[in-house]
Amino acid sequence: MTATVESRLTPQERVDTWLGEFEAALAARDVPRATGMFAVDSFWRDLIAFTWNIKTVEGREGVAAMLTAQLESIDPAGFRTTEPPEEDGGVTSAWIEFETAAGRGLGHLRLKDEGAWTFLTTMHELKGHEEPRGFNRPKGAAHGADPDRRTWTDQREAEEAELGYTRQPYVVVVGGGQGGIALGARMRQLGVPALVLERSPRAGDSWRNRYKTLCLHDPVWYDHLPYLPFPDTWPVFAPKDKIGDWLEMYTRVMEIPYWTSATCLSASYDESTKEWTVEVDRAGERVTLRPQQLVLATGMSGKPNLPTFAGQDRFAGDQHHSSAHPGPEAYAGKRAVVIGSNNSAHDICGALWEAGADVTMVQRSSTHVVKSDSLMELGLGDLYSQRAVAAGVTTQKADLTFASLPYRIMPEFQIPVYRAIAERDADFYDRLEKAGFRHDWGDDGSGLFMKYLRRGSGYYIDVGAAELVANGDINLAHGGVRELTEHAVVLEDGTELPADLVVYATGYGSMNGWAADLIGQDVADKVGKCWGLGSGTTKDPGPWEGEQRNMWKPTRQDGLWFHGGNLHQSRHYSLYLALQLKARSEGIPTPVYGLQEVHHLS
C-alpha cells in the first residue's frame, strides 16, 4: 500500500487493513510477509500470548525470529479492534483483541506510515479455563433437598484441613504480602490449588510492622487489587495499617488458602519427579509441602542490605535497618543519623523530626526527588486519577496503556514529563540544592519511573520531608561511613556526627538472594539477578534485556518463579503469572521463547 493511498484511509480503515493483512500472513505462515508489516525500528511486546514469556522483540529481525519459532504452535487468528482507533501526530493507535490456540488476548497497536511501530499482545484468558465471573459466576447455593449437604463453611473447613496435609498444592507462594495475595486470588479464581505462606501472625503485617508514619506514596487509582478495587471513599494515600487491614480482609473475602505464622525453612527441587520439597514451620509445627511450582513473592527489593562498618559492635545507641525501624516515639530529644537519602530515609527523617529528634541525613549519592502533587498531576494523571476515571479510563485500560510502551522507548515519553515538573517546581529544586542536597533526574533525565524500573532505588516522592531538608530542619551530610564510635558516626572525610540512633536506609538486594537462602547459592546463580532492564545506566548494568529480569516469567530453574513489585505490578502481572501456572497445571503446551539469559548474578 502506498503512502498516498494510505493517507486517504480513515483510522479505522487503516487499522482494519493492517490487521487483515497481518492475519492473512500469519495464517499462511508467511513470516517474511508478516515481518515486513513492521517498521524498521519497531517493538513487539508480548505478555505470554505468543511467547509464553514476558518478552519484547525489537525490529524486523526480532519479529521474524520470534514468529519463526512460535507461529505454528500459537496459531493466532481473529484480530479485530475493540473500539474506534485514534490518530495523533501521524500515529494511528488501536485497541485490539485476538485469539490463539490456547487463549484469548487483548492488545494495542501503533501504526506509522512505515508499518507497525509498537505492538502489544497479552493473553487475557485460557480457552476452556475461563474465570467464573459475569455470566459464568458460581451460583453459590445448591437448591433442593440433600441429606448429605455440605455448607460453604463445611467446604472451607475441609479444604483448610486438607490442603498441605492430605492434599498437596500445585503451587506454593512464599510471601504473603500484596504480591502473594494478588497471585493467590488469581489462583483461586482459576481453580489452581495454591497455598500462600506468610511468616507473620496476620495477613497485612508486612505493612503493619513498618514504621508508624508510613503511607502509600502512590495514589489509590494506581493501587487496586484484582477483582476487588478500593471503594470510592478510600483515601488517595492510604496509611500502612489501613492497607494491612485491607489485605487481611481481602485474603478472607477472596478465600485465599493462606497460612500465617508459616516460615519457609528450605526448598529443594527433584529434577526426576519435577517436584519441590518445601519445609515449613507453621506456628511450631513442621510441615513438608510438595508442590510442582514454587513462587518467591518476597518483594521486588529482596533482602535488606545491612552494611558492615568498623565500630558497629561498640556503638552504644540503637542501630537497625530501615525495614526494622519501630517508629520515632522513643527518640524524642535524641540525636538520629539516617544513612541514605531515598524514600525510606526521607520518611524516617521526617517522622523523627516531627517527634522532636535532632536528625541528620547522610547522602551517599545523588537522589531524584519529585513532589507528590506534581507526580500525580503530570506523571500519573492521564491514567491513574479521578480525572482519568471520569474520562472512561478503567484500571485495565490504564494498565494496558502503560504496558503498551516498550521499555526501550519509554524514556522518550518520560523525559518531557520531568522537564515539565522541573519547570513547575523550579523554586523547590533551587531551595533543595542550595541546602546542599545532591539532586538528579536520572542518567538521561527520564525521572522516577525509569529509575524504579531500572534499579528500584534512587528516588523519593516528596510528601513533606524534602521540604524539611530544603528548610534546614533536617541536617544534611555527605559521603560514605568510615566507622562508628561509641556515640558517633564518622564519615570518610573525618566528619563526626553524634548519634544515639543510626538507621541504615541502605536499600535491598536482588530477589535471588532469597533463593540463595531457601534453596541454595547454586540456584540463585543459575537464575541470576532479578529486576532491571540492562539499560547500562547507574545500578542497571547492560547488556540490554528489554524486560524486568526474571520477574513474572519462567526462569532458568524449572518450577521457580519470582513475583513482586508495587501494588500496580502485583495486580497487573499476577494475571500473566497465574495464566502460566494454570496452563502448566492443565498440561497445556507452553513453548517458551526467549528464556532469560543470565548476565549478572546479583
**Each residue of 83-118: pLDDT tens digit?**
999 999 999 999 999 999 999 999 999 999 999 999
**DSSP 8-state secondary structure symbol assigned to residue 78:** E
Q: How many Å apart are CA 10 and CA 159, to the nearest integer? A: 56
pLDDT classification of 508: cutoffs 50, 70, 90: confident
Q: Count Cβ neighbours within 10 Å for each residue of 58-69 and write b for 16 or more, e otherwise.
A: bbbebbbbbbeb
Q: How many Å apart are CA 11 and CA 532, to the nearest integer? A: 36
Residue 150 has pLDDT above 90, yes or no: no
For residue 427, what pLDDT is reported?
97
What would the pLDDT profile of 445-496 be if each residue is shown by its tens digit? 999 999 999 999 999 999 999 999 999 999 999 999 999 999 999 999 999 9
- Tally: H helices and E strands in the chain: 19, 25
For residue 578, what pLDDT is reported?
98
Q: Count Cβ neighbours within 10 Å for each residue of 181-193 and write b for 16 or more, e otherwise.
A: bbbbbbbbbbebb
Residue 201 φ then ψ, to 5°: -70, -25
Q: How many Å apart are CA 196 and CA 539, to the nearest integer? A: 32
- Please give the model's pTM, rounded to 2 decimal places: 0.95
Count the residues in the chain. Answer: 602
pLDDT classification of 303: cutoffs 50, 70, 90: confident
For residue 210, what pLDDT is reported?
82
- Which three cell numbers, joined as nine digits, stand for 125? 484468558
Q: What does the pLDDT average to over 143-150?
A: 85
For residue 6, what pLDDT is reported?
56
Residue 260 has pLDDT above 70, yes or no: yes
Neighbouring-strand partners of residue 115: 112
pLDDT classification of 550: cutoffs 50, 70, 90: very high
C-beta contacts of 189-193 below 8 A and 24+ residues apart: 189/131, 189/132, 189/133, 189/227, 190/129, 190/131, 190/578, 190/579, 190/582, 191/129, 191/582, 192/578, 192/581, 192/582, 192/585, 193/163, 193/167, 193/168, 193/169, 193/257
Q: What percent of the chain has pLDDT over 90?
A: 90
Q: At what angle do helices 240-253 and 178-190 cross, to 10 degrees?
A: 20
What would the pLDDT profile of 557-589 be if each residue is shown by its tens digit? 999 999 999 999 999 999 999 999 999 999 999
The SS3 of residue 553 is: coil
**Residue (of 241, 442, 214) closest to 345 by Cα position:** 214
Residue 299 has pLDDT above 90, yes or no: no
pLDDT classification of 5: cutoffs 50, 70, 90: low
Q: How many Å apart are CA 440 and CA 327, to the nearest integer? A: 29
For residue 302, what pLDDT is reported?
64
Q: What does the pLDDT average to over 525-554?
A: 97
CB 486 within 8 A of CB 314: yes
For residue 107, what pLDDT is reported?
98
